[in-house]
Structure 1
Amino acid sequence: MRGLSILQRETSLQIHQQIMRFIPLLAILMAVLAACSSSPSNNINFRFVVTTLVDANNEPITFARPEGLAIDKDGNLFVAEAIGGIRRVSPEGVVSTIIQDDEVALPSKLAFDSEGNLYITESGRNRIIRVDQSGRITVVAGTGEMGLDDGDAEQAQFFLPLGIAVDESGTIYVADSGNNRIRWVSPQGEVGTLVDSEGAESGFIGISGITLASSGILYVADADGKRIHAITPEGAVSTFAGNGEIGFSNGPALEARFNGPSDIAIDSQGNFYIADLGNHSIRIITPDGHVNTAAGNGESGYGDGEGADAQFMYPQAVAIDANNTIYVADSGNNVIRVMRRVSDE
């Protein structure tokens, strides 16, 4: 049976690697299809300047395909590298490695709980792992074999877990992308399903990043569905943004078009930021229910600057600190970008 377990793990790795190789090709195709849409206009009254995260020597920090971001209470930025480990960047720019690349297989998204423990979706082994403040690594849920089983966390199975969030009670929510379900892991070590693909409006197609609002609503970036879903604690699903069609257009949230939204984060003022992977941009959903483009112009590239002058290449993740500074995992450029609001008119 050990040989079978190894084979299943290798198969999971291979599937994930094939999916990740396909993402840029899919995004290119979606970009071509989206080209028919005009460049979106904005109606927000503030602007963002984009820079590249640097170290203590003011040199750009490079990463091995960054896919996940999280910020702790002290302002340290944690970065999951899809073909590396987990690294930490202090507010002073000091870079350290928290988990070596041989200790984790294809880490994806990150989240902290209220006690400062870091949770990681380990996509390559179909597990959820935790790193406590002493650096000790623990498997929270998943056998390491791909599948779909609820119940005891040690016996539960996932299939390419991606997005992750933790509520105040310590309940963990996971975007189980291969199964197109939102799963939960209780503090008591039980795994269940909050929403399956048939329970979601129009169905989940390719869920990725998730985030929890203070209201308890869970927001889900459905990359292949080109939508953002909202899920109540009871599991009721509605579309929060996106009309389900490929494109790059702003406006009322339910009329806006996305091109592979891969992650989502909320600032202290109630603005939602979306890593719009296929449009190589960061979109914003304001509290009044309108979608705008915060940075990027729909073209793949690398360049700092203001708003549409900045360029990204397949942004995979977003995170926001206590000062509402936005961090973007610019996966195609292997760097972290920093977005700061510069004015209000």
Structure 2
Amino acid sequence: GNVYATLSGPRNQKTPVSIFRIDRDFQVRPFVRDLMNPTGLAFDGEGYLYASSRAEGIVYRISPTGAMTVYAEGMGVATGIAFDNDGNLFVGDRSGTIFKIDRERQIFVYATLEPSVAAYHLTFDTTGTLFVTAPTTSSRDHVYTINRNGEVDTFYNGLGRPQGSAFDIDGNFYVAASLNGQRGIVRITPRREASLIVSGSSIVGFCFLEDGCAAIATNNALYHVELGIEGQLLPSTNS
């Protein structure tokens, strides 16, 4: 029930606290220090947190007490990360590569995409399809899908600067993006019908909470918003 949030800072500059933990009572506590430009976060099935450093191209494994070890190196400009149901970790190098790291820490090139000006954001659906957002200089960016064979397709085209994403239990896809010039959180149904459900000029990411609410991140704050949406559970891994 805790929420974890990065404070990434300018490239190649460390912030005093890299990752914060926000408890159920909304108390904000420093969790990790001395991690350069943390960007993507993901948990494994044992409660370890994984964080990418876009400056170092490293994915770190972080214990429940905040102790860090290197999990994988050479990830380019490492941004979004996500686990699949088999315990494989996927890492988005925003210069154009999606890496797959298996449970033995072998690294594979899983797919290649157009480079992003900001970051890749990765989310799995219940079928094991990987959804990727990648802001570019275009005003009509794609949401990509990558199947289990690494084949890339377009799920939706026409968003402005799509970033963080998540699914609800009904299979609707949600993404922080601009739709028809208005910024916020966009819902895209399985029939690929898009609508804006939350409006906010600087929203970059979010996650659904267990009470039907969402934690919504802007560039400098987190908001607790009641939406009445039940989020899809993250993959259960044993890595």
Question: TM over 0.5, yes or no?
Answer: yes
Alignment of 1:96-107 (within 5 A): 96-100=29-33, 103-107=34-38
| One-letter amino acid matched to 1:161 | A
Cα drift, residue 187 of structure 1: 1.3
Equivalence for 1:171: 88
8 Å CA contact 1:263–1:316 kept in 2: the answer is: yes
After TM superposition, list the pairs within 5 Å mapping 1:211-222 onto structure 2: 211-222=123-134
Partner Cα separation in structure 1 for residue 173 and residue 198 of structure 2 = 13
CA contact (8 A) 1:209 1:263 kept: yes
The aligned length equals 215
Alpha-carbon shift at residue 222 of structure 1 (Å)? 1.9
Cα deviation digits, residues 196-251 of structure 1 (max 9, x gap): 23xxxxxx231511111121010000211601011111111110011xxxxxxxxx
* Among candidates 173, 185, 195, match of residue 282 of structure 1: 185
Instruction: Give the structure with the higher percent strand.
Output: 2
Q: Which residue of 2 aligns with 1:312?
A: 201
Equivalent position to 1:267, from 162, 168, 171: 168
User: Does the 8 Å contact 1:119/1:129 carry over to 2?
Assistant: yes
Could you say which structure has the greater relative contact order, defined with CA pairs below 8 angstroms and 6 or more residues apart? Answer: 1
The question of 1:293 aligning with 2:196 is answered yes
From 87, 105, 111, the equivalent of 1:189 is 105
**2:115: which partner in 1?**
205
**Structure with the greater alpha carbon radius of gyration:** 1
SS at match of 1:110: strand
C-alpha deviations, 1:69-94, integer Å up to 9, x for none? xxxxxx10000111231000011112
**Secondary structure in 2 matching 1:261:** coil
**Structure with more of its chain in helix, by fraction:** 1
Question: Aligned pair 1:135/2:66, yes or no?
Answer: yes
1:227 maps to amino acid:
H
**Is the deviation greater in 279-288 or in 215-224?**
279-288
Q: Is the 8 A contact 1:273 1:318 kept in 2?
A: no
Are 1:340 and 2:226 counterparts?
A: yes
Q: Which of 210, 215, 222 pairs up with 1:327?
A: 215
Percent of aligned pairs sharing the same letter: 24
Q: Secondary structure at the match of 2:204?
A: strand
Q: List runs of 5+ in structure 2 lacking aligned partners.
A: 10-14, 230-239
- Equivalent residue number for residue 12 of structure 2: none
Q: Quick check: 2:185–2:196 contact (8 Å CA) kept in 1?
A: yes
| Alignment-derived partner of residue 151 in structure 1 | none
- For structure 1, list consecutive stretches of 5 or more residues without a partner in the other structure: 1-74, 143-156, 198-203, 243-256, 297-310
- For 2:214, give the aligned amino acid: I
Rounded to whole Å, the distance in 1 between the matches of 2:101 and 2:135 is 23
CA distance in 2, matches of 1:342, 1:161: 33
* CA offset digits 1:304-344 (Å, max 9, x no partner): xxxxxxx332x22221223342222101xx1112332259x
Per-residue deviation, 1:133: 1.8
| Maintained 8 Å contact 2:85/2:128 | no
Q: Aligned to 1:262, what secondary structure does the other structure show?
A: coil
Residue 112 in 1 paired to residue 43 in 2? yes
Alignment of 1:92 with 2:25, yes or no, is: yes
- Distance change >3 Å, CA 232–CA 324, structure 1 → 2: farther
Per-residue deviation, 1:284: 0.8
Q: For 2:31 and 2:25, how far apart are their aligned partners in 1?
A: 17
After superposing on structure 2, the runs of 4+ consecutive aligned residues of structure 1 that deviate more than 3 Å are none
Q: Distance in 1 between matches of 2:67 and 2:87?
A: 18
User: Distance between the aligned counterparts of 1:76 and 1:340, measured in 2?
Assistant: 17
Look up the equivalent residue of 1:205 and give its one-letter code. Answer: P
Structure 1 window deviating more from structure 2 (316-325 vs 82-91): it is: 316-325
For 1:280 and 1:338, the matched residues in 2 are separated by 18
| Pair 1:177–1:92, CA change in 2 (3 A) | same
TM-score where L is the length of structure 2: 0.84
